[in-house]
Amino acid sequence: MIRKLLAGLLAMLLATLVLHSPQKAYAADDTSSLPVLSVTEVIALTLENNPTLSAAGHESAALKHEVGQAGVRPNPEFSLELENFGGSGEFSGADRAETTLRLSQRLELGGKRSARQDVARSGEELGLWQKELARIEIASEAVARFLDLVAAQQREAVARDQVALNESLLFAVEERIAAGKSASIEKKRFSSRLAEARLELRRVQREVSAARQVLALSWQGSQGDFIAADEDFRRVAEIPERSKILTDLESSPAVQRANGMRLRTEQELRLARAEGVVDPTLSLGVKRDEDADDHALVAQISVPLPLFNRNQGAIAAARSRLDKAREEKNAARLDLERQVVRGWSKLDSAYDDVVSLRDEVIPAAEETFEGIRYGYQAGKFGLLDVLDAEQSFFAAKSLQIDALLSYHRAVLELERLLGRNVLKSVQYLNFSKYEDK
């Protein structure tokens, strides 16, 4: 009798330890010795090995060369002219020939050179914003995959806890059956629940493996053996007011890129106007008369007559593109504002869910399950009560993981949209560590 009582107490103790054990992924698995990757390391690996960013780096170099090319002046022209030779009569030979050696230089007026340089510089600045947007997008995708892996690891930890709890409950039922306090059919019900828990554990283990492989592809790596650092997954912080977040729209990368496109079209309009100014060509040379054996200087200036082409079509096109760029900048800001408002609403909702589950739902479900489990040992509750309370408790834990994932994804989305961190204690895209603007 004493042995059976001790066995029952041991089973309850094991169940209590499972219920109150911290949700540490891989706690009961041999993967605990695997290297742990933090989100900072994931971002660094991704940015270092991403071919899109490598291509953007080459484009940045090309834009820098274009800035240098835009400041180059027109080349001078060298000409050699030979007259009065190879004809008939006294011009049959070269005795009456006249030779002119001339050097010509076109002079750019209207500020063409500086306008070209400004267009190239604005293009380079726009390229930097496009590169920054690509970098933020790539880093955000990697962090999203990181969060998926962390959530999968958390689900595996919960599944392991559920398996361990069902094993301890099955042990307690066997002792009750041996003591004649329960029918043998109860063992089959608990055995079935244990089999379901083990099946769920295998499913989430496959989910973890798939999430790890997808994350490794972010830096073109093989699946490898690593786990994602998940100690901060349950950390949440109060969110700022929506109005405060909306004040930062103008400094966001998306709006800055649109503003950069507007500035470039302004410079293109200035260049089109400058190209409508005609450029004179100055020539200076020396002329030799073979018959008189004399030399003379030759000077010339030529100016195109702007009768038909004053670059009016290009100027009108540049004006239209400038109007378009202004409207696109306004549209980009409005679109960003809509996305930020949507993202803030998701974050606000997820935060409420996390706090409610953490402070109300899970403690109540745990207390209910513990009470029913102890009551079952005392014969006050039936088998179905225990199974129902267990299902409610672990369903609440699963909802908590989903809510935490939604919360962190919403934080990440706002960081991606605004190009800055929105919370002090929960941050993913640490811009100061990898931006080079």
Please count the other Cβ atoms lying within 10 Å of the Cβ belonging to residue 69: 11
Q: Which of 130, 149, 154, 145 is nearest to 219 (CA)?
A: 145
Cβ neighbors of 301 (< 8 A, separation 6 or more) are 280, 281, 282, 283
Tokens matching residue 212: 């790890």
Residue 204 lies in a domain: yes
Tell me the HSE value of 346 on the side-chain side, using a 13 A CA sphere.
19
* Lowest mean pLDDT, pick from 24-28, 129-133, 181-185, 390-394: 24-28
The boundaries of the domain holding residue 250 are: 2-73+108-276+311-430
pLDDT at 44: 92
> What's the pTM value of the predicted model, to 2 decimals?
0.82
Mean pLDDT is lowest, of 98-107, 222-231, 242-251, 327-336, for 222-231
- Give the mean pLDDT of 287-298: 86
Q: Which helix (H) or strand (E) segment is 113 a member of? A: helix 112-178
Say what angle helices 383-418 and 185-216 make with each other, to 10 degrees. 10
Q: Is residue 285 part of a domain?
A: no
Which whole number is the average pLDDT over 23-30? Answer: 46
Report yes or no on 421 lying in a domain.
Answer: yes
Task: Supply φ then ψ for residue 98, to 5 degrees.
Answer: -125, 125
- Is 90 inside any structural domain? no
Contact between residue 129 and residue 118 where contact means Cβ atoms under 8 Å apart: no
Q: Within a domain: residue 89? A: no
- Per-residue tokens: 328: 């696109």
Q: How many domains does the chain have?
A: 1
Question: Is the confidence at residue 132, as pLDDT, over 60?
Answer: yes
Contact 43/53 with Cβ under 8 angstroms?
Answer: no
- pLDDT score at 339: 96
The predicted model gives 414-419 an average pLDDT of 92
Q: Which H/E stretch holds residue 146?
A: helix 112-178
Check residue 182 and give its pLDDT: 67
CA-atom Rg of the chain in angstroms: 38
Q: Is residue 298 part of a domain?
A: no
Q: Is residue 225 part of a domain?
A: yes
Residue 395: the pLDDT is 94
Average pLDDT score over residue span 147-156: 96
Domain holding 244: CATH number? 1.20.1600.10
Render pLDDT for 58-98 as a digit per residue (tens, 0 to 9): 999 999 999 999 999 999 999 999 888 877 777 777 777 88
Length of the chain: 437
Least confident range from 3-7, 19-23, 128-132: namely: 3-7
pLDDT for res 140:
94
Q: How confident is the model at residue 31 (pLDDT cuts 50, 70, 90)?
A: low
For the stretch 369-384, pLDDT in tens is 889 888 877 778 877 8
H-run or E-run covering 178: helix 112-178
Does the residue 95 lie in any domain? no
Question: Tokens standing for 226?
Answer: 């690593």
Lookup: tokens for 112: 């063409």
Q: 117: Cβ–Cβ under 8 A, 6 or more apart, which residues?
A: 67, 70, 71
